[in-house]
Amino acid sequence: MIASDIQPFRIVEDKGFREFVQCLDPRYKLPSRPTIQNVHLQKIFDDLEKKLQANLNNIDSCAITTDGWSSKANESYITVTCHFIDSEFKLRSVVLGTWKLANELNHSAENISQSLRECLNKWNILEKVNYVVTDNAASMLKACELLEKKNLPCFAHSINLVVQDALSTEKVKVILTKCKRIVAYFKSSTIAYARLRKEQGDGKQYSLIQEVPTRWNSAFAMMQRILVIKDAIFSVLLSTPKAPQVFTADEVEQLEDFIRCTENELAEVKRITASTLEGDIQEPSTSKSMEVPEIYEFMKEKLSCKIKSNRADSIIALREYAEKPNEPLNSDPLEYWKTRTSDMRHLQILALRYLCIPATSSESERMFSKAGAVISDRRTRLKEKNVNMLLFINKNSWMIS
């Protein structure tokens, strides 16, 4: 419970929780804080480590994501997540560890690669990792090069960089800066925000959204929300001394054009994607394989003696695969490849190798959010070992069941 719900160890000392447990079962004696931390947590962690190692021993390939972050105590950590397809053809995501960099004094590529190498060697998967998914930071790219592993830039991060370039163009930048200034004004003034709510009347109340540079769609959401309640915003700003300037009629028109164009582009992408996929759909083949009469048994012997070429076999296998009818759009790719042990074994091996690679490094970033709750303002002195155990159990608890 402490790991999955990210509760502090001292919850067993809290009066309310103790009374709650007492109501549930007066005979139950809560373990002490040191017992939970040093005995129970450690036992669960050790058991999960063994189970994870057993899972990793049974795979031939996997991919990892990694990124660095700073805790509330201003300590640098690195998190590594691993992604693989197990023997049941289920896609699995686990966290391998969260720890401080080998050398806390710098975040160089050499330091990062050394930390990654130690982690992968610990789990005996260094040779099994086929791709490392990271953001586009030069240090991460260089670290993968030093590790002699292929790097796949985070797709979400790449999109964000493209959009941020577009938002930095002169016309958009002026509007964006003005939007951010207005939102910041309301966020910093409780009186102004109260007046904004009052101006919106008794109907649905909208809050303003501030742009986050690492989330491209936050700028779009901010502008969209401003347009929805622009009348209420203008009313408050025009009647408040020293408030930010309101938008001119031309600027409002530019905002509307920006939102309209963005919505149209997104709709067009969805339309093209859907029509392309639907156009390629064919009904699955229902023909049954015919039984070969015994009089043709001599053909089997002849085929077995045929001289084979790996290149020719590969070309034939790819052609046969490409000519097969498409599966329905809602089909599970892993379920498809699970049944291809006999006719497409070599392609099945490739599917296991590449379908486990995540498109983004968001798994690592999700762990940052968890870590932020673990190393909170109320417990900034949590030891590195306990941080790792809590996050490890939180992410990998699926193996307990």
Q: Considering only 248-252, 265-269, 298-302, which range has the smallest mean pLDDT? A: 298-302
**Contact (Cβ atoms closer than 8 angstroms) between residue 85 and residue 356:** yes
**Contact (Cβ atoms closer than 8 angstroms) between residue 327 and residue 336:** yes
Summarize pLDDT for 4-50 with one digit per residue, the tens. Answer: 888 888 899 999 999 999 999 999 999 999 999 899 999 999 999 99
Question: What pLDDT does 289 receive?
Answer: 44
Q: What proportion of the chain, given as a percentage, has pLDDT over 70?
A: 86
Domains and CATH numbers, the chain: 42-154+359-399 (3.30.420), 162-274 (no CATH)
**Contact (Cβ atoms closer than 8 angstroms) between residue 168 and residue 211:** no
Which of 32-41, 154-163, 213-222, 286-295: highest mean pLDDT?
Answer: 32-41
Question: What pLDDT does 380 receive?
Answer: 58
Mean per-residue pLDDT, 132-136: 92
Q: Considering only 281-290, 310-319, 339-348, which range has the smallest mean pLDDT? A: 281-290
pLDDT-derived band at 281 (thresholds 50, 70, 90) equals very low
Rg of the chain over all Cα atoms, to the nearest angstrom: 28
Length of the chain as a residue count: 401
Mean per-residue pLDDT, 306-333: 83
Summarize pLDDT for 294-316 with one digit per residue, the tens. Answer: 555 655 666 666 666 778 878 88
Query: Which residues make beta-bridge pairs with 152?
Result: 133
Question: What pLDDT does 314 receive?
Answer: 83
DSSP per residue, 283-345: PPP-PPPPPPPGGGHHHHHHHHTS---HHHHHHHHHHHHHHSPPPPTT--HHHHHHT-TTTSH
Q: Considering only 28-32, 82-86, 107-111, which range has the smallest mean pLDDT? A: 107-111
Helix or strand or coil: residue 118?
A: helix
| Cβ neighbours of residue 371 closer than 8 Å, sequence gap 6 or more | 69, 71, 77, 79, 98, 387, 391
**Contact (Cβ atoms closer than 8 angstroms) between residue 64 and residue 132:** yes
| Cβ neighbours of residue 70 closer than 8 Å, sequence gap 6 or more | 76, 77
Farthest-apart Cα atoms in the chain, separation: 99
Half-sphere exposure of 366 (CA within 13 A, CB side): 12
Q: What is the mean pLDDT of the chain?
A: 85
Summarize pLDDT for 344-384 with one digit per residue, the tens. Answer: 888 888 999 999 999 999 888 888 777 766 766 555 567 88
**Contact (Cβ atoms closer than 8 angstroms) between residue 279 and residue 272:** no
